[in-house]
Amino acid sequence: MRILVTGASGTLGRAAVPALVRAGHQVRALSRRERDGQDATWVRGDLASGDGVKQAVRGCEALVHLATHGRKGPGAERVDVAGARTLVSAAREAGVAHLLYVTVVGADRAPSGLLRCKFEAERVVRESGLGYTVLRATHFHQWLDKLLREYAASPVLPVDRSVPWQPVHTGEVATHLTGLLAGGPRQQAVEFGGPQVLRTDELVDVWLEGRHLRRLCLSVRYPGRLLAAQRAGALITEATPRGRISWHDYLYPPPPVPSDDFASEHTASPTSPANQPEGDPDRHVYGGDEGYQRQTRR
pLDDT at 144 over 70: yes
Range picked from 98-107, 259-268, 277-286 for highest mean pLDDT: 98-107
Residue 243 CA to residue 38 CA, distance in Å, equals 28
Give the model confidence (pLDDT) of 172-183 as tens digits: 999 999 999 999
Give the model confidence (pLDDT) of 13-48 as tens digits: 999 999 999 999 999 999 888 777 778 999 999 999
Residues 6 or more apart in contact with residue 229 via CB below 8 angstroms: 106, 109, 110, 112, 235
Q: How many CB atoms lie within 10 A of CB 296?
A: 10
Q: CA angle at residue 168 from 60 to 258, to 5 degrees?
A: 90
Give the model confidence (pLDDT) of 112-139 as tens digits: 888 999 999 999 999 999 999 999 999 9
Burial (CB count <10 Å: 0-12, 13-18, 19+), residue 231: middle
Identify the band that residue 279 occupies on the pLDDT scale cut at 50, 70 and 90: very low
Percent of the chain with pLDDT over 70: 85
**Residue, of 255 and 178, whose pLDDT is higher:** 178
Q: What is the pTM for the complete model shown?
A: 0.84
Q: Which residues of 213-228 are buried (b: 16+ CB within 10 A; e: fewer)?
A: eebeeeeeeeeeebbb
Percent of the chain with pLDDT over 90: 76
Identify the band that residue 69 occupies on the pLDDT scale cut at 50, 70 and 90: confident
Identify the band that residue 270 occupies on the pLDDT scale cut at 50, 70 and 90: very low
CA–CA distances in Å: residue 148 to residues 151, 204, 205, 297: 5, 8, 11, 14
Q: What length is written for the chain?
A: 298
Give the model confidence (pLDDT) of 187-229 as tens digits: 999 999 999 999 999 999 999 999 999 999 999 999 999 999 9
Residue 121 CA to residue 217 CA, distance in Å, equals 37
* The dihedral formed by the CA atoms of 208, 253, 19 and 289, expressed in degrees to the nearest 10: 90
Q: What's the mean pLDDT when you consider all of the chain?
A: 87
| DSSP bridge pairs for 143 | none
Residues 6 or more apart in contact with residue 4 via CB below 8 angstroms: 28, 29, 30, 56, 57, 60, 62, 63, 64
**Residue, of 98 and 274, whose pLDDT is higher:** 98
